[in-house]
Amino acid sequence: MRPYDVVFDQVLTRVDPERIHHAAFRAIRAAGPVTGRVVRVPSAPVRALGLTFPHPLGLAAGFDKNAVGIDALAALGFGHVEIGTVTGEAQPGNPRPRLFRLTDDRAIVNRMGFNNDGAEVVARRLAAWRATGRSTILGVNIGKSKVVPEDEAVRDYEKSAGLLAPHADYLVVNVSSPNTPGLRNLQAVEKLEPILAAVRRRADEVRPDHRVPLLVKIAPDLSDDDVLAVADLALSSGLDGIIATNTTTSREGLATPAEKVAAIGAGGLSGRPLTKRSEDVVRALRTRVGPGLVLVGVGGITTVDDARRRLAAGADLLQGYTAFVYEGPLWPQRMVTGIVRGLTTDG
């Protein structure tokens, strides 16, 4: 058993998960200058979205919602960092408690509700960060503000895109969190299409000299037919990629006692229970879209074997979050080393 496992099982599991998250993130940021000199990961460049990623593994949105620790997270070994979800308006998120561990399943349930500082504040923060000349590949994940009615979602996404596209290496439209009322309704093609068109148009207006790649993040709970419909929309609308998948509302097949799961209540489930469905979605998407569209595999990637299977299913890039929480700060380094070794062996 690794030292982190002992600390996690004996100490961290006894403290509220959200408090631990903030404390751990502060420690990561404080250690960033040292981490960058100590942690070394092998290189396996991936050309995607018009960018050269140092290797396939990045950090999924949700960990750094407000763009306060981009370089410190990259120093741990992540090849790209996706911040957010950022909304047009600042919002506190849902009432606490809103983050829960299912340790028997190596999973997390969250109903954070897009708590973030809002697009205007995050944009200023990113402008200051860019001014330092940092080179971490940055994705910016944008979502709908809770106070904005569903029929005004286009305007809200457009606002965020206008503020944040100038600082992003790629943009992600998030319509797949289960924690904002009505958000997942926007995955329907007839509602998603105008959002994507508005975000694309606004990003081009604020970056006339450079086309910012645009992706959409989808839920694992979409039916197979709806997954294929999103794939077709991505092709017809000139989307650059799809991130598959977000968290699930399903609670099927969990090892955690049913009464504990019921007591936790609503929220998106992430971690190992998503492994198979997320892999299946990536495989279905790749079969549908062919080789031209970038697919980012996320959901239940814990081991090197998980990563290799997701790449084999058709993912160009990978992201993790829940495994980072359970496996500790050395997880990115271990994963990248194993992934690169596998790519070298296969090659």
Q: What is the pLDDT of residues 152-200, one digit of tens each?
A: 999 999 999 999 999 999 999 999 999 898 889 999 889 999 999 999 9
Residue 65, annotated as binding a ligand = yes
Q: Are strands 80-87 and 99-102 parallel, antiparallel or unpaired?
A: unpaired
> Using DSSP, how many helices (H) and how many strands (E) does the chain show?
12, 13
- 243: phi then psi, degrees, rounded to nearest 5: -105, 120
Residues 6+ apart with CB under 8 A from 304: 334, 335, 338, 339, 342
User: In this structure, what DSSP letter does residue 91 have?
Assistant: B
Residue 177 among the catalytic residues: yes
Res 182: pLDDT: 87
Q: What is the dihedral sign for C-alpha 14, 19, 23, 25? A: positive
Q: Is the pLDDT of residue 347 over 60?
A: no
Average pLDDT value for the chain: 95
Length of the chain, in residues:
347
Predicted pLDDT at 11: 72
Whole-number pLDDT of residue 79: 98
Contact, 146 vs 180, CB < 8 A? yes
Structure tokens that stand for 173 in this block? 């439209």
- Joined together, the tokens standing for residue 230 give 């999103």
In whole angstroms, what is the distance from residue 105 CA to residue 91 CA? 30
Phi, psi dihedrals of residue 99, rounded to the nearest 5°: -140, 130
174 is in an annotated binding site: yes
Q: DSSP string of 166-198?
A: GG-SEEEEE---TTSTTGGGGGSHHHHHHHHHH
Q: Measuring CA to CA, which residue among 221, 223, 172 is closest to residue 196?
A: 172
Contact criterion met (CB below 8 Å) for 148 and 118: no
What tokens were used for 227?
């997954």
Cα distance between residue 325 and residue 76, in whole Å? 13
119 in a known ligand binding site = no
Domains by residue range for the chain, with CATH: 3-342 (3.20.20.70)
Position 27, amino acid: A
280 pLDDT more than 80: yes
Burial class (CB in 10 A: 0-12, 13-18, 19+), 284: middle
The pair of three-digit structure tokens given for residue 259, joined into one six-digit string: 């009464």
**Selected catalytic residue, list 145, 160, 177, 278:** 177
Is 271 annotated in a binding site? The answer is yes
Strand 170-174 relative to strand 137-143, pairing: parallel
Diameter over CA atoms, the chain: 55
247 is in an annotated binding site: yes
Strands 80-87 and 46-48: unpaired
The pLDDT of residue 15 is 87
> How high is the pLDDT of residue 3?
80
Q: Give the predicted TM-score (pTM) of the model.
A: 0.96
Across 230-256, average pLDDT: 97
Is 322 annotated as a binding-site member? yes
Q: How confident is the model at residue 346 (pLDDT cuts 50, 70, 90)?
A: low
299 belongs to an annotated ligand binding site: no
Q: Is 114 annotated as a binding residue?
A: yes
